[in-house]
Amino acid sequence: MAKRFSIFTYGCQMNRYDTETITGHLEREGYERSENFETADLILLNTCSIRERAEQKVFSQLGRLSRLKKEKPGLKIAVCGCFATREGEGIAKRQPAVDLVFGTQNIAELPRLLGRMTEGRVVDVAPVEPDFTEVAPIRREGDLSAWVSIARGCDNFCTFCVVPYTRGPEWSKPSPLIVEEVEKAVAEGFREVTLLGQNVNSYGRKTPGGLTFGGLLRRLVEVGGLLRVRFMTSHPKDCDLDMVAAMGECAKVCEHLHLPFQAGSDEVLRRMERGYTGEEYLAKVDLFRKHVPGGVLTSDVIVGFPGETDRDFEKTLEILHRARFDSIFMFKYSPRPGTPAAAMPGRVPEEAMAERFEEALRLQRRMTEDLHRELEGQVLEVMVEGAWEGASPCQGCQEDRGVAGFSGRSRGNHRVQFIVDGPAPRPGDLVDVKVLRGGLHALGGIWPPDSVLMEDSGP
Ligand code: SAM
Ligand code: SF4
């Protein structure tokens, strides 16, 4: 009987992509995926190290797994991902039930590491150059939208961030390999790809003569059968005309830019070593808006970086006002061992950090609601994901008569729930939905846009 594995993923899209690659390698080795820890012979935890809380969760999960292992002695437990890379041997020392620890850069070696496990516990977190000779085996989640990593690692060393230490230096995947991976995903039925990298804008800069990121976008939109291209994350210092011009020109590239600004104060940005000032960031926003009319902007923000004063924080609020983000991911600063910021003076007390977090969140919610209300009456192209089971998005609208509901994503990455007047659309269809309600988390609408579903006027 085939061996079964179960994998639990913490953190970001990059980790979920890694999970898909790990799954691909394990299936190639004859393993079968099991959604249930109890029936698995091998359990993997793909960990994150971005903030302290993510790390704490790993040890509580490992505690539960060690109890399961007592009942099932043949069970093997593996820990991988950023936290595994950072802690290495330390994880196995603190939790003896762990059989295998491997790093973000050792995924391709997994078959060999599994073989070595017969001799005892294996720890391999040593940095290795990526093998870019073939498309890695990959078992994708979902069936419409595929992640495709275009680069590994990061060279930026923002002072708060562990990524350059856990994922190593930046390596751009050769463009023919990316094209091949996208073509394979399309052949499997995927209609949309999201290109992943810690800083997609610096794609190809270390390999002169190759494609730039804008060039890569232009090449990928030629792939037949592919309907949409998205990407993340962009770094403001490298966001340039090459990229925004390609976004503006290529109809398949969605008009959504995730451009983390992290903080508004020039002094905080300097200590973060982000490589731009608040005004320079806003100039990039203007560049995007000029070349991508109607484009949707989202961002990441950190509150409570060491030394951040009330005055500094006001500058963060100012950027929120001026940039008009559709939504943001907001984080309280979390000191990461070994990063320069962790040793900086001026730790912001938890209470002040929480107050700033709430204030920024309140402001952003108002801004999001305003922006979404402005979309009412507009027609947005939506990629259909499937039937919508929740409450009608149009509750209270004249059009709401308990008709079939569907959901999908706009080009700007809004979640859109809509009612349908006519035959049901299929997953993967692109439909033009008229927005009737702009809510905080989703837009409600109707398709086709010129439908008028009047109330029955009685017998
Ligand atoms: N490469 C991306 C960039 O430069 O924007 C982001 C990568 S990181 C996985 C995602 C987000 O986590 C960052 O944009 C930042 O806002 C947040 N983050 C990273 N380190 C953090 C820390 N030590 N404390 C709080 N938030 C952090
Ligand atoms: Fe971390 Fe900065 Fe690299 Fe993003 S660009 S991964 S925040 S070091």
What is the C-alpha to C-alpha distance for residues 254 and 217, in angstroms, rounded to an integer?
11
DSSP, res 137? P
Measuring from atom 7 of ligand 1, which residue has the nearest CA? 198
406 C-alpha to center of ligand 1: Å? 33
CB atoms under 10 Å from CB of 187, counted, come to 9
Residue 157 alpha carbon, nearest atom of ligand 2? 8
φ, ψ for residue 446, nearest 5 deg: -140, 145
179 C-alpha to center of ligand 2: Å? 25
For residue 293, what are the CA distances in angstroms to 248, 254, 282? Answer: 8, 12, 16
Model confidence pLDDT, tens digit, residues 230-251: 999 999 999 999 999 999 999 9
Residue 155 alpha carbon, nearest atom of ligand 2? 3
337 C-alpha to center of ligand 1: Å? 15
Q: Give residue 1's pLDDT.
A: 80
Q: Bridge partners of 88?
A: none
Cα 106 to the chain's mean position, in Å? Answer: 21
Phi-psi region of 362 (alpha: psi -120 to 50; beta: other; left: phi over 0): alpha
Measuring from atom 14 of ligand 1, which residue has the nearest CA? 300
For residue 428, what are the CA distances in angstroms to 149, 255, 386, 407, 431? Answer: 22, 18, 9, 11, 9
Q: Bridge partners of 151?
A: 172
Nearest ligand atom owner, CA of 348: 1
Q: Give residue 402's pLDDT.
A: 56
157 C-alpha to center of ligand 2: Å? 6
Please report the DSSP string for 184-236 in residue order: HHHHTT--EEEEE-TTGGGTTTTSTTS--HHHHHHHHTTSTT--EEEEE---G
φ, ψ for residue 141, nearest 5 deg: -80, 155
Residue 154 alpha carbon, nearest atom of ligand 1? 1
Pocket of ligand 1 contains residue 199 by CB under 6 Å: yes
For residue 309, what are the CA distances in angstroms to 263, 282, 315, 342, 360? Answer: 12, 21, 10, 17, 14
Nearest ligand atom owner, CA of 153: 2
What is the C-alpha to C-alpha distance for residues 205 and 172, in angstroms, rounded to an integer?
8
What are the residue ranges in the chain where pLDDT is below 70? 390-404, 453-459
Measuring from atom 2 of ligand 1, which residue has the nearest CA? 198
Mutation test of ligand 2: which of 163, 165, 171, 203 has the most ligand atoms closer than 8 Å to its C-beta?
Answer: 163
Q: Give residue 458's pLDDT.
A: 38
Q: Give residue 398's pLDDT.
A: 47
